[in-house]
């Protein structure tokens, strides 16, 4: 059974869904005035006991779509029996996503936390440290497939009689992260009858395979990507080769043309550190986010970004994440966390811009990168720098996004005259070449060692002094490249004539080192 919907005003509100008053109060406290389209369609069907395959983009409210009816069902069951038992298992492919689902669930159960208890078993360092969380039989257990299987194997988690609902979030990543065997083993420990939900932003062959394993007579809810295409997000393209890309990111940030919080995406970890070191030379602070950092650090980076501690994150998508089968040679030399993801699964808040320094390798990755902005009903933009080798992928993404729409192209040309930033290009060329492979390697080692030291040595201190944790920043300069002091300022003679007429623009460059990017974005934030 398939149900395909387009964007339209919700025809039913939360209070009309026969939800518990405690749940309605929690929803109101979150500021959700009305359900999103996917919530409007999914919640009544789940309350009827239907299996669901939910296809909706990141930021559309998928978590609430399956978690609200789950909580309601638990509260209804508790009226009949107060016997403690694990009723729901939620599996997600990354620790960050597990943490996000856990956080949302805690917010939704704030008024009924005694009757609906939830734990996240993905964050603990090992299985034994998470065992105490399961002793009291919480109602909802959240974890990665591998971690869930580990607990099922050692007997700390038993589901064969009590489970009523199974949820697999970001289903199209589950197999690509190497969890196929784990999922199949988990299913052997479940009862014969249970309600199941698969949620995903794309419907791939892997999702089809998972659907056959998990779902029974499911209803498929497909929301069109019109909000990704022409609604909430504006897509721009700007043709540039590698050296010009560096000059562009420098000029756009320094001149305040990028307004608001931004995520810069690259395709490799090395490139993310190279850009960070490159921007450091011009007094632009940023922080790198990748799977080599400890999970607690990644979550802390995102948390501080959401709290407006800094405005620029440089995130890396790695081929090893999308194609684990080819990761053996990489894994031998680098310590990556397979239960980690950046392009998706992390709840970045109030992101105004996504910048593709490297264009994504496939359509699916573009959709999820774009989903980092325009969350909920907010608007955002995606600016992609396109080299000659990336044009073909751009055309494929364009064809996918404009399907069914009567327009020639989704991507607008970003109006920018490269000849007007010749002064920036000259500076950028030297700075880009200064960020050598050795400098990048040293920067990576320095940051990882620093974060591991902070995580281990200071853990006890920060547990006793949580306020001090807020002062721990991740955007400090790595200083593996010589930083000429004059580069932090932009002299008047290299500012394009067309921008000099903008009141106050020149003044924003008269700032102290490593504060300019933050000040620019805060001053011109939309």
- Residues 6 or more apart in contact with residue 284 via CB below 8 angstroms: 250, 253, 254, 312, 514, 516, 517
Spacing of C-alpha 294 from chain mean position? 16
Mean pLDDT of the residues in the chain: 81
DSSP H helical segments within 157-268, as ranges?
171-174, 180-188, 205-214, 226, 242-254
**End position of a domain, from candidates 172, 203, 222:** 222
Same domain, 207 and 270: no
Per the domain annotation, does 3 fall within a domain?
no
Residue with tokens 């043709």: 239
Q: What is the pLDDT of residue 478?
A: 60
- What is the mean pLDDT of the segment spanning 492-506? 71
**End position of a domain, from candidates 222, 243, 258:** 222
Band (pLDDT 50/70/90 cuts) for residue 282 is very high
Q: What is the pLDDT of residue 513?
A: 39
Per the domain annotation, does 336 fall within a domain?
no
Same domain, 32 and 116: yes
236-263 pLDDT, tens digit per residue, is: 999 999 889 999 999 999 988 998 999 9
Q: What is the pLDDT of residue 505?
A: 56
Same domain, 195 and 48: yes
Per the domain annotation, does 331 fall within a domain?
no
Q: Are strands 52-55 and 88-91 parallel, antiparallel or unpaired?
A: unpaired
The residue among 163, 139, 164 whose CA lies nearest residue 152 is 163
Per the domain annotation, does 419 fall within a domain?
yes
Q: What is the pLDDT of residue 508?
A: 43
182-194 pLDDT, tens digit per residue, is: 999 999 999 999 9
Q: pTM value?
A: 0.67
Q: What is the pLDDT of residue 9?
A: 46
Comparing 253 with 452, the larger pLDDT belongs to 253
**End position of a domain, from candidates 190, 222, 254:** 222
pLDDT over threshold 60, residue 234: yes
Number of domains in the chain: 2
Same domain, 243 and 357: yes
Q: What is the pLDDT of residue 463?
A: 60
Comparing 358 with 60, the larger pLDDT belongs to 358
Per the domain annotation, does 86 fall within a domain?
yes
pLDDT over threshold 60, residue 514: no
Same domain, 205 and 259: no
The CATH number linked to 80 is 3.40.50.300
Size (the chain), residues: 526
Q: In this predicted structure, which of 71-75, 225-229, 359-363 has the lowest mean pLDDT?
A: 225-229
Per the domain annotation, does 126 fall within a domain?
yes
197-206 pLDDT, tens digit per residue, is: 999 877 778 8
Same domain, 89 and 179: yes
319-376 pLDDT, tens digit per residue, is: 433 333 343 333 434 455 555 555 455 668 889 999 999 999 988 889 878 888 877 6
pLDDT over threshold 60, residue 225: no
pLDDT over threshold 90, residue 47: yes
- Residues 6 or more apart in contact with residue 128 via CB below 8 angstroms: none
Residue with tokens 């081929």: 319
Q: What is the pLDDT of residue 186?
A: 96
Same domain, 71 and 136: yes
Same domain, 86 and 189: yes
188 and 96 Cβ atoms separated by less than 8 Å: no
Per the domain annotation, does 458 fall within a domain?
no
Same domain, 109 and 249: no
Comparing 326 with 63, the larger pLDDT belongs to 63
Per the domain annotation, does 250 fall within a domain?
yes
Percent of the chain with pLDDT over 70: 77
pLDDT over threshold 50, residue 510: no
Same domain, 251 and 349: yes
119-175 pLDDT, tens digit per residue, is: 999 988 788 888 899 999 999 999 999 999 999 999 999 999 999 999 999 888 888
Count the Cβ atoms, other than its own, within 10 Å of residue 498.
9
Same domain, 145 and 217: yes
What residues make up the domain containing 299? 233-319+344-435+481-501
The residue among 326, 316, 208 whose CA lies nearest residue 267 is 316
Same domain, 168 and 260: no
Radius of gyration of the chain measured on its C-alpha atoms: 24
């Amino acid at each position: 059974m398939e149900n395909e919907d387009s964007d339209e005003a919700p025809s039913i509100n939360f209070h009309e869904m026969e939800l518990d008053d405690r749940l309605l109060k929690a929803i109101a406290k979150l500021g959700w005035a009305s359900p999103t389209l996917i919530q409007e369609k999914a919640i009544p069907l789940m309350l009827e006991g239907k299996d669901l395959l939910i296809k909706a983009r990141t930021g559309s409210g998928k978590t609430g779509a399956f978690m609200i009816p789950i909580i309601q069902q638990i509260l209804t069951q508790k009226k009949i029996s107060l016997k403690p038992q694990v009723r729901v298992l939620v599996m997600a492919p990354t620790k960050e996503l597990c943490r996000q689902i856990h956080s949302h669930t805690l917010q939704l159960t704030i008024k009924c936390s005694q009757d609906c208890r939830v734990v996240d078993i993905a964050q603990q360092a090992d299985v034994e440290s998470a065992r105490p969380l399961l002793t009291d039989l919480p109602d909802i257990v959240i974890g990665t497939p591998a971690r869930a299987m580990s607990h099922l194997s050692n007997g700390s988690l038993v589901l064969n009689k009590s489970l009523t609902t199974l949820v697999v979030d970001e289903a199209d990543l589950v197999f690509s992260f190497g969890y196929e065997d784990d999922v199949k083993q988990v299913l052997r420990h479940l009862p014969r009858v249970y309600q199941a939900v698969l949620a995903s932003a794309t419907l791939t062959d892997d999702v089809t395979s998972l659907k056959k394993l998990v779902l029974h007579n499911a209803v498929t809810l497909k929301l069109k990507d019109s909000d990704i295409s022409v609604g909430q997000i504006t897509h721009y393209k700007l043709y540039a080769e590698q050296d010009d890309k560096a000059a562009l990111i420098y000029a756009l940030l320094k001149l305040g043309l990028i307004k608001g919080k931004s995520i810069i995406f690259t395709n490799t970890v090395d490139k993310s550190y190279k850009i960070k070191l490159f921007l450091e030379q011009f007094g632009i602070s940023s922080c790198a986010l990748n799977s080599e950092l400890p999970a607690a650090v990644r979550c802390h980076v995102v948390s501080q970004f959401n709290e407006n501690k800094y405005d620029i994150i440089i995130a890396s998508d790695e081929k090893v994440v999308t194609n684990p089968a080819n990761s053996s040679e990489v894994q031998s030399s680098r310590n990556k966390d397979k239960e980690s993801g950046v392009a998706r699964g992390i709840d970045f808040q109030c992101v105004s811009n996504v910048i593709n320094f490297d264009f994504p390798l496939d359509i699916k990755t573009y959709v999820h990168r774009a989903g980092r902005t325009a969350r909920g009903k907010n608007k955002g933009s995606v600016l992609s720098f396109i080299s000659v080798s990336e044009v073909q992928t751009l055309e494929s993404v364009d064809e996918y996004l404009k399907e069914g729409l009567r327009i020639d192209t989704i991507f607008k040309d970003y109006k920018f005259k490269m000849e007007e930033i010749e002064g920036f290009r000259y500076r950028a060329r030297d700075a880009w070449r200064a960020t050598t492979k050795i400098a990048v390697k040293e920067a990576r080692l320095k940051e990882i060692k620093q974060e591991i030291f902070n995580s281990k040595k200071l853990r006890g201190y920060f547990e006793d002094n949580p306020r001090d944790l807020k002062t721990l920043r991740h955007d400090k300069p790595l200083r593996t490249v010589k930083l000429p002091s004059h580069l932090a300022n932009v002299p008047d003679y290299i500012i394009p004539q067309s921008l000099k007429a903008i009141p106050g623009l020149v003044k924003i460059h008269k700032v102290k080192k490593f504060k300019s990017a933050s000040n620019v974005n805060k001053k011109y934030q939309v």
